[in-house]
Amino acid sequence: MTVLLALDSSTEVMAIALSSPAGEFHFEAEGGPQASVRLLPETQALLAQAGLRLGDVDAIAFGRGPGAFTGLRAACAVVQGLAFGVGKPVLAIDSLMLVAEDARQQAAAQGQALSGLVWVAMDARMGEIYAAAFRVPAPTGPLLEVQPAALYKPAALAELLDAQTEDFALAGSALALFAEALAAPEGGRPRRVWPQTHSRARALAALARQAWAQGGAMDAALAMPVYVRDKVAQTTQERLDARAAQATAGRP
Which DSSP string do the residues of 94-136 spell out, in sequence order?
Answer: EHHHHHHHHHHHHHHHTT----EEEEEEEE-STT-EEEEEEEE
28-32, 67-71, 79-83, 149-153: range with lowest mean pLDDT: 28-32
- Are 106 and 119 in the same domain? yes
85 and 210, same structural domain? yes
Where would I find the beta strands (DSSP E) of the chain? 4-8, 13-20, 23-30, 59-65, 90-94, 116-123, 129-136, 144-152, 168-171, 192-194
Indicate if 107 and 80 belong to the same structural domain: no
Do 119 and 179 share a structural domain?
A: yes
Do 44 and 126 lie in one domain? The reply is: no
Q: Say if residue 184 is in the same domain as residue 103.
A: yes
Per DSSP, 138 falls in state S
Nearest alpha-carbon partner for 169 in 119, 134, 123, 130: 119
Tell me if 228 is assigned to some domain.
no
Q: Are strands 4-8 and 13-20 parallel, antiparallel or unpaired?
A: antiparallel
Residue 103 maps to a domain: yes
Is pLDDT at 34 greater than 60 in this prediction? Answer: yes
Within this chain, do residues 131 and 158 fall inside the same structural domain, yes or no?
A: yes
Q: Are residues 103 and 158 in the same domain?
A: yes
For residue 84, being part of any structural domain is answered with yes
How far apart are alpha carbons 120 and 99 in whole angstroms? Answer: 7
Q: Is residue 243 part of a domain?
A: no
Q: 144: which residues sit within 8 A by CB, 6+ positions away?
A: 134, 135
Q: What is the pLDDT of residues 51-110, one digit of tens each?
A: 999 999 999 999 999 999 999 999 999 999 999 999 999 999 999 999 999 999 999 999
Say if residue 36 is in the same domain as residue 106.
no
Residue 203 backbone dihedrals phi, psi, to 5 degrees: -65, -40
Q: Which structural domain, as residue segments, surrounds residue 50?
A: 4-94+199-222
Query: From CA 77, how far away is CA 56, in angstroms rounded?
Result: 20
CATH of the domain at 32: 3.30.420.40
Question: In sequence order, what are the residues at sequence separation of 6 or more whose Cβ sits closer than 8 angstroms to the Cβ of residue 147?
Answer: 119, 131, 132, 133
pLDDT of residue 39: 94
233 pLDDT higher than 90: no
Work out how many domains the chain is built from and give that number.
2
Residues 13 and 132 in one domain: no
**Would the pTM of this model clear 0.75, i.e. be above it?**
yes
- The answer to whether the CB of 18 falls within 8 A of the CB of 86 is no
d(CA 73, CA 80): 10
Look at residue 250 in the predicted model and tell me its pLDDT.
45
- CB of 27 closer than 8 Å to CB of 216: no
**Is 238 a residue whose pLDDT tops 60?**
no
Band of the pLDDT at 22, cuts 50, 70, 90? confident
The answer to the question of residue 21 being in a domain is yes
Say if 41 falls within a structural domain: yes
Same domain flag for 83 and 108: no
Q: Determine, yes or no, domain membership for 229.
A: no
- Model confidence at 138, pLDDT cuts 50, 70, 90, reads confident
Same domain, 133 and 166: yes
In a domain, 171, yes or no: yes
How large is the average pLDDT for residues 136-162? 94
Q: Residues near 38 by Cβ (< 8 Å), separated by ≥ 6?
A: 14, 29
Q: How many CB atoms lie within 10 A of CB 172?
A: 29
Strand order from edge to edge, sheet including 13-20: 23-30, 13-20, 4-8, 59-65, 90-94
> What proportions of the chain, in percent to the nearest 5, are helix, strand and coil?
40, 25, 35
